[in-house]
A and B are shown apart, each in its own frame.
Chain A
Amino acid sequence: QQPVQSPQAVILREGEDAVINCSSSKALYSVHWYRQKHGEAPVFLMILLKGGEQKGHEKISASFNEKKQQSSLYLTASQLSYSGTYFCGTGSGGYNKLIFGAGTRLAVHP
């Protein structure tokens, strides 16, 4: 079942912070976060594994709450380059197969 991302869209000024959530109704083994800019391929940001938390990219970090089956992506002191659509992909362990959420559109303005 597709994970639910919230919010669907966010508008920020440069320097502001944002949180994007990803919730699943199934037990999660891993959560993968990607950012996609318009017309480009999704780019991997970070992966969070059950039982751990991993910070992988710029000023972006994330958490993984196993009990709530939820992951949150934290973007601090946003930059114009953070604009794009953020996707979470949830993994159950087999073949690195992921189920992606519908995405959160983030726009950062000067």
Chain B
Amino acid sequence: DVKVTQSSRYLVKRTGEKVFLECVQDMDHENMFWYRQDPGLGLRLIYFSYDVKMKEKGDIPEGYSVSREKKERFSLILESASTNQTSMYLCASSPPSGLGRQETQYFGPGTRLLVL
């Protein structure tokens, strides 16, 4: 079974703090993703990575950065946390797609972040 783990299930931080959210997958997947999930808005892509040290912005990258130094680990960084970043953060991974083939994404359990 594919396993995607996230470092914390719940996190409480103060405005202005630097926050690190860690994600690890054990299936040697090339692609990794960070989403935030808010009621009524679904999952919105923050950043994704298709290889070590490679990253691309998603739909809502402002206020976030990412790091992928090793294939199995993808970190989301909130440089200076703000209250509007209070949300559920989900990490996912997937194998690479190929000609005529689409692969699904496997999700971690999520980190619920509260910024006070």
A residues 66-103 in Cβ contact with B at 8 Å: 87, 89, 91, 93-103
Which single residue of chain B is at the shortest CB-CB distance from A102? B42
Question: What is the number of residues of chain B that contact chain A, defined by CB distance less than 8 Å?
Answer: 30
Tell me how far the C-beta of A47 lies from the nearest C-beta in chain B, rounded to whole angstroms: 6
Which of B11-19, B74-82, B99-107 interfaces with chain A? B99-107
A44 near B104: Cβ-Cβ < 8 Å? yes
* A contact set with B: CB distance below 8 Å: 2, 29-30, 32, 34, 40-44, 47, 49, 87, 89, 91, 93-103
20 contacts between A and B (CB under 8 A): A2-B42, A30-B102, A32-B104, A34-B107, A40-B109, A41-B90, A41-B108, A41-B109, A42-B90, A43-B107, A44-B105, A47-B102, A95-B48, A95-B50, A95-B56, A96-B94, A96-B96, A96-B102, A96-B104, A98-B45
Q: What is the CA–CA distance of A54 and B4 in the complex, to the nearest angstrom?
A: 25
Determine if B25 is an interface residue (Cβ-Cβ < 8 Å). no
A95 near B97: Cβ-Cβ < 8 Å? yes
Tell me how far the C-beta of A36 lies from the nearest C-beta in chain B, rounded to whole angstroms: 8
Instruction: Point out the residue from A87, A93, A96 that lies within 8 Å of B43, measured CB to CB.
Output: A87
Tell me how far the C-beta of A105 lies from the nearest C-beta in chain B, rounded to whole angstroms: 10
6 tightest A-B contacts by CB? A41-B107, A102-B42, A100-B43, A30-B102, A96-B94, A100-B42
Q: What is the CA–CA distance of A89 and B105 in the complex, to the nearest angstrom?
A: 10
Tell me how far the C-beta of A85 lies from the nearest C-beta in chain B, rounded to whole angstroms: 9
Tell me how far the C-beta of B93 lies from the nearest C-beta in chain A, rounded to whole angstroms: 9
B42 near A103: Cβ-Cβ < 8 Å? yes
B residues 1-25 in Cβ contact with A at 8 Å: 4
With contact pairs A30-B102, A40-B109, A49-B102 given, residues A87 and B50 touching in the complex (Cβ less than 8 Å): no
